Amino acid sequence: MSGLVQIFAVGGGGFTHAQDGAGNDALLEDRLLALVGPVAKLKIGYIGHANNDRADRLTAFYSRFAGCARTTHLPITAEAGMAQDFLQDLDILYVGGGTTTAMLSHWRNAGIADLLVAAVRRGLVASGVSAGGICWFSDLLLKTEDDCFEQHEGLGLVAGSACPHFSSEPDRKQAFETAVASRQLQSGIAIDDGVGVHIIDGVVAEIVCARGGGESAYLIMPDGEMNAHQPLARGHRLGMGLANGDSI
């Protein structure tokens, strides 16, 4: 393992929602595997705690990476000891989507959160979609059971906030923009479905757009009473100026 903190955050879609990307989202996983390579020697692990280990998504994981890498998953019943063993020889971790608050609460209560953070800091490539893509950031805006949104603390491996499904979920988009504009939420990045953002030690290394329909990733920053939207670019360092509520 390299010792670099690497995050590959997917806004939505991917192998767990193959029907949404018409097969094009496979580019996201191909690029993820290429971050470590050669694939014949890789071991990739899956965590589906945000969706209560949905059987169809576990099946999709094993199907997608069959022949690409050695595969394993961490069941939702696992405690810290099992999680430690699970993480020990992984090259890539992929976290599925679902309910972010339930997943983070489970991880913290079970002692898994600290193990994940330590493993990523040692060089494990952390990736995921939706809940699994944003959980690595420090500041989250998450949907409640009554379809409102509230602020939560993420794992903090990347400074600032992150929003998945940006262009496909108007209520989430509006809530995120409003929270950033009012400075209730730290500046951050927004990621469309079918898009992956590779971050190395807080710097954007690559934006992978799989679908070719104009999907992208964006910087969202407060600008007076509104937001400044900029296309996310390679080389941008995330978290700059956050202590003063400035741009990310």
> Between the CA of residue 93 and those of 16, 33, 73, 74, 124, what are the distances in Å?
15, 11, 9, 10, 7
Residue 121 and residue 201: Cα distance in Å, rounded? 9
Give dist(CA 238, CA 200) in Å, integer: 10
Is the pLDDT at 3 greater than 80? The verdict is no
Structure-block tokens of residue 10: 């997917």
What domains lie within the chain, and their CATH numbers?
Answer: 6-244 (3.40.50.880)
What pLDDT does 248 receive?
Answer: 36
**Percentage of residues in the chain having pLDDT higher than 90:** 83
Print the SS3 string covering 217-230: EEEEEEECCEEEEE
pTM for the whole thing? 0.93
Lowest mean pLDDT, pick from 24-33, 96-105, 154-163, 231-240: 231-240
| 163-to-13, 32, 82 alpha-carbon distances in Å | 14, 20, 30
The model's pLDDT over 173-195, given as tens digits with 9 standing for 90+, comes to 999 999 999 999 999 999 999 99
For the ranges 9-13, 133-137, 202-206, 240-244, the lowest mean pLDDT is seen at 240-244
CA distances from 196 to 8, 41, 182, 187, 247 (A): 6, 23, 27, 19, 21
Name the token pair of 77: 């019943």
Tell me the residue type at 26: A
**What pLDDT sits at residue 45?**
98
Per-residue pLDDT reduced to its tens digit, 192-246: 999 999 999 999 999 999 999 999 999 999 976 556 678 999 999 997 444 333 3
Find, among 188, 192, 210, 216, the residue nearest to 130 by Cα.
Answer: 192
Four-point Cα dihedral 44, 45, 51, 52, nearest 10:
150
The per-residue pLDDT for range 66-108, each reduced to its tens digit, is 988 999 999 999 999 999 999 999 999 999 999 999 999 999 9
The C-alpha atoms of residue 123 and residue 247 are separated, in whole angstroms, by 28
The pLDDT assigned to 226 comes to: 59
Q: In terms of Cα–Cα distance, which of 209, 81, 191 is closest to 137?
A: 191
> 159 and 189 in contact (C-beta within 8 Å)?
no
| Measured CA angle at 144 (ends 139, 150), to 5 deg | 35
Q: Kindly report the length of the chain.
A: 248
pLDDT band at 247 (very low <50, low <70, confident <90, very high): very low
Distance CA 211, CA 121 (A): 31
Note the pLDDT of residue 227. Answer: 65
- The predicted pLDDT at position 40 comes to 67
**CA–CA separation, 124 vs 101, rounded Å?**
23
